[in-house]
Structure 1
Amino acid sequence: MTAGLGERLAELTGAEVTGLRRLSGGASRETWSFDAAGRGLILRRDPPAAPDPAAMAREAALLTAAAGAGVPVPRVESHGPDLLGSPYLVMERLDGETIPRRLLRDERFAKIRPRLAYELGTVLARLHTLAPDTVPGLPDGDPLEELTEHYESYGEPRPAVELALRWLGEHRPPPADRRALVHGDFRNGNLMIGTDGVRGVLDWELAHAGDPAEDLGWLCVKAWRFGSPHPAGGFGSRADLLAGYAAAGGTPPTDEELHWWEVYGTLRWTILCRHQAERYLSGADPSIEYAVLGRKVCEQEHDLLLALGLTSPSTVPDPLDGHVPGAAAGPHDRPGAADLIDAAAAFLLEAEQPDERLRFHARVAASALRIARRELLLGDAHREAHRERLRALGCADDAELAEGIRSGRFDGRTDEVVAAVRAAVADKLTVTNPRHLSVPG
């Protein structure tokens, strides 16, 4: 495929294409880097199984409009409905870093980090000067209603999600005085940052018309802090973010409004993780990345409970720590099945991989094996404990508990319900990612 893609890109750019390689990340679109006529370029391309030419054309228009408002973005070189069967967008390749853990930990960004929350506030204020109709065809719906419909479409009731939906419905702020063009995914990981500051805002495919506070709240969602204690993208405080926003002409939301959008954003990421997992569960894409995302949903359920003040960080030992190889089952030789899983996970982490994307997927695959290993150790005990919790509440399953939370059936037993949901989420996290339980909200 790489050879055919390189030939088509050479035709588009009118120059020899070199250094073509697919980048890791990008759960919904392919991202490729290449050089042509001395220019560094990036190709964004829909998966052939899920083309959306209108959305790709909108993204090109969004980049152009944002540049006009003073938002740092890559320059659009070309876009169209068909590149080897998929809509595409070619844009300049910006120099800088997008990997959050490097941005939050590397010494080379130490001087700029304290200023980034303020600077990101100024960037969002410039973006929000754009009216929703600046780019025709932007989605424009009720965010909470749309999120609820998306969640319900999976037919997979989740008590933690129902607690969040009840709170969001009961505490929703009044409509904003003005609506604006909202980026929809403005967060650490979608920002190109250099040692001098923000060089580019990337990944505009979720842009829509909405309340400007949505972008501010999304940046402060716990998932985008990557372990940092600083709420605004892991870089700084909410106060710094809002100060930059006000200095550039934006009207900051109240603390209560910002908190509502943070809770909403955490719920949104919960549902988006489930959405990405559906690509694996439906058989549409066998990627290990999408498979593991299905098990990441419980991380966001825990973060929802944190954001709502319904749980606290706790330290749970990893069940795999200190494991000693045991006997094989039945007539089989040692090492047993559990030990083979551990060996395969260690191999994936240690083996040399020829490119960045394979290294990324090797880490994800090793994580998948560790999840499976923990489930083999704890799954039976967790299932019985959950059955007991449900029985104490008079529920046959999670679906009945979720419906009861939504309908108000348990309004007089809130503490019992929250305790049961908290324990269930903690069990799931003990299997999926025990360390996540200890990270503060």
Structure 2
Amino acid sequence: MEQDRTDPGAARARLARVLERAVSDHVDVEAVIPLSGGANSLTYAVDAVREGQPWRLILQVTPPGQAADGMSRAVQAALQTRAGNAGVRVAEVVAVLTPQDGLGEGFVMAFVEGETLAPRWLRDDAYAEARAAMLADCAESLARIHAIGAQAVADLRLPVLTPQAQLRALRETYDRCDGAVPVFELAFAVLAGQLPDDGDLALVHGDFRSGNFIVGDTGLAAVVDWELAHIGHPLLDIGWLSTNTWRFGQAQMPVGGFAEREAFYAAYEAAGGRPVDRSLVLAFEMLGSLRWGVMCMQMGAAHLSGEMASVERAAIARRVSETEADILYMLKHGAL
């Protein structure tokens, strides 16, 4: 849509044709409203009319000129659809853009009503009922994602990362940032001796956290942002969800800011998830903090180099010190 700023009417007409092709109904697109613009995705709210009835949609496209080094939008759409077919709560994919559509690389999905700002639904009294349901909803969602298995998505050619391979890839990113953080060096050494180099790998979401959920009045409405999905160890998702950063200040609830560890592990297992190794999962929590710390370094490096100058990235880079403190605590006490 970025390339159509000078002629928004033409862009709306093209999008209407895409939607008509998908649903075989007459569609008018009345408005395409920018919601966010980041390094990896441009997101728009679409106000359409289908056969005389209001139809709310979301369009996500890759920013113009971005190198195609990540998961394609077509693969994301296919993955989201398969997860939905497996019972995971996702937004229904309506249409995938083609080069001939002239709108860029992206896809259109149904609008899902709910709150996306984790600090709001984790703290506001209005979401008390939803918070109470999130333990079971998220445990069930992860169990269903991991049950999909590697073979069921083999045709999508997702990356395969054992825990040790993930640690090595993280180390490479850290080294490219000219990393010189003693606490991170210690964490890399400790995790190299704790994380397995094999295991029963499955589909993992890769970014399953309290910032990638749409939360409705009664609980989880949708899991979003599937671009980091890959074949990996299921504990990666649980450890990432339990990383201190994604508790958004709700430290008394270590899993996502809404659940205690043992209660979540038990709910995950009861929903069909694999047995949770209670000692190994804590290593994945440390990996989560290390991963976020390196991501903060990466954003700082992009800002300082001028590759993507941004006050937001500079501010996030300052959070490296938070992850250092988290890792030091875990190294001493085992869990944060």
TM-score (norm 1): 0.66
Query: Structure 1 residues 259, 310: closer, same or farther in 2, change over 3 A?
Result: closer
Task: Tell me, in whole angstroms, the C-alpha distance in 2 between the residues paired with 1:282 and 1:54.
Answer: 25
Q: What is the aligned partner in structure 1 of residue 296 from structure 2?
A: 273
The list of structure 1 runs, each at least 4 consecutive aligned residues, that deviate by more than 6 angstroms after superposition, is: none
- Return the letter of the residue paired with 1:241: F
Alignment of 1:1-400 (within 5 A): 1=2, 2=5, 4=7, 7-14=10-17, 15-24=27-36, 26=38, 28-37=40-49, 38-52=54-68, 55-80=72-97, 82=99, 86-135=104-153, 136-141=156-161, 142-173=165-196, 175-176=198-199, 178-228=200-250, 229-309=252-332
Q: Structure 1 residues 75 and 159 mapped into 2: Cα distance closer, same or farther (>3 Å)? A: same
Check whether the contact 2:201–2:231 (CA below 8 A) recurs between aligned residues: yes
Q: Partners in 2 of 1:6 and 1:198 — Cα distance?
A: 36
Structure 1 residue runs of 5 or longer lacking an equivalent are 312-439
Higher normalized strand content (fraction of residues): 2
Aligned residues: 312
Give the conservation status (yes or no) of the 8 Å contact 2:143–2:273. Answer: yes
What is the distance in 2 between the residues matched to 1:25 and 1:109?
27
Larger Rg: 1
Structure 1 residue 115 displacement after superposition:
2.8
Q: How far apart, CA to CA, are the structure 1 residues paired with 2:112 and 2:6?
A: 24
For residues 190-218 of structure 1, the C-alpha deviation after alignment (integer angstroms, 9 at most, x for no partner) is 01111111111100000000011111111
Shift of 1:273: 1.9
* Structure 1 residues 98 and 54: CA distance shift in structure 2, 3 A: closer
Which whole-Å CA distance do the structure 2 matches of 1:181 and 1:89 have between them? Answer: 22
Partner of 1:345: none
Alignment-derived partner of residue 368 in structure 1: none
- How far, CA to CA, are the matches of 2:262 and 2:37 in structure 1? 31
The residue number in structure 2 matching 1:401 is: none
Question: Residues 6 and 146 of structure 1: is their aligned pair in 2 closer, same or farther, counting only changes over 3 Å?
Answer: farther
User: 8 Å contact 2:56–2:110 — kept in the other structure?
Assistant: yes
- For residues 340-376 of structure 1, give each alpha carbon's deviation from its aligned partner in whole angstroms, at most 9, with x where no partner exists: xxxxxxxxxxxxxxxxxxxxxxxxxxxxxxxxxxxxx
Shift of 1:93: 1.1
Quick one: distance in 2 between partners of 1:216 and 1:188?
12
Deviation at 1:291, TM superposition (A): 2.5
How big is the alpha-carbon RMSD for the aligned residues of Structure 1 and Structure 2? 2.4
Q: What SS does the aligned partner of 1:309 have?
A: helix
> Would you say the 8 A contact 1:6–1:20 is kept in 2?
no
Give the TM-score, by structure 2 length.
0.85
2:13 is matched by which residue type in structure 1?
A: A
Q: Which amino acid aligns with 1:118?
A: A
CA contact (8 A) 2:39 2:63 kept: no
Residues 26-74 of structure 1: per-residue CA shift (max 9 Å, x gap): 5532222121112111121222231428522210111011011100111
| Gap runs ≥5 in structure 2 | 18-26
- Tell me which amino acid in the other structure corresponds to 1:13: A
Relative distance call for 1:87 and 1:253 in structure 2 (3 A) is: same
> Do the aligned partners of residues 153 and 293 (structure 1) sit closer, same or farther apart at CA in structure 2, a change above 3 Å counting?
same
* Cα separation, 2, equivalents of 1:3 and 1:102: 36
**Contact kept in structure 1, 2:148 and 2:203, CA below 8 Å:** yes
- For 1:225 and 1:269, locate their aligned partners in 2 and report how far apart those are by CA, in whole Å: 13
Q: Kindly, what percent of the aligned residue pairs are identical?
A: 37
Is this contact kept in 2: 1:10–1:36, CA < 8 A? Answer: no
